[in-house]
Structure 1
Amino acid sequence: MDKTSKILEWIDVLRRRPLMILSDTSFFSLRGYIEGYIDALGLAYDIPKFTLRISLWYQQKVGMQSDVLWINQIVSYNSDKSDEELKLMVLQLLTDFFEENPEWYKPEYWS
């Protein structure tokens, strides 16, 4: 199983069984965990500003620009959504990112 498939599997576990990974099911718990996980991936695979790259991808996807990072953009653009809806949106967008960028872990991919 390649790196992207493993991450997609991890996202699916977060979606179906969040308490296997998180201490509670709140949006803020999920958000904090994902932010840390993405930062760790960037460090582990030597991808400078990985979170920023996801943010720029998200901005292209929705056709909007912002100075805040992607999860904050989701919250800002969808302030009328419940925490449950926001969690589903974040997980789906994260899935979309990794499916659309299957070679994300290769530093030359970002050159």
Structure 2
Amino acid sequence: MHEQYVRAVVSIKILKPRPGIREPTTGYFYRTMTAKLNRQRIATQRWDFGNGKKNSRDPIGDPAPCNAPNLARFQINILVGEVFWDPPFPIPPGYAPLVPAMVTA
């Protein structure tokens, strides 16, 4: 994140399953996963997901808040123009990337 051309970094950490503790309905071991989003000049966002919080001693009574697909609070939105069309940095006001004809924006 010290280079100006790096605008966003997403990291996902998958921890080992917790031995001896299983979900009652599925029998799966509890596993904690953490996602982080780092962006230039914006505070780092962090989410625990999977079927257990990272530091919870009771994953059954204190489950991870992100434990199902398509939950709006846990979606990461990065503008397509920032990823694919290399805008100038910092992005000037009113900047609109040129989308190639063969790409649907």
- TM bucket, shorter chain: under 0.3
Greater share of helix = 1
RCO higher in structure (CA 8 A, sep ≥6): 1
Q: Which protein has the larger Cα radius of gyration, Structure 1 or Structure 2?
A: 2
Q: Which has the larger share of strand?
A: 2
Structure 2 length as normaliser, TM-score?
A: 0.26
Please, what TM-score do these two structures have when normalized by structure 1?
0.25
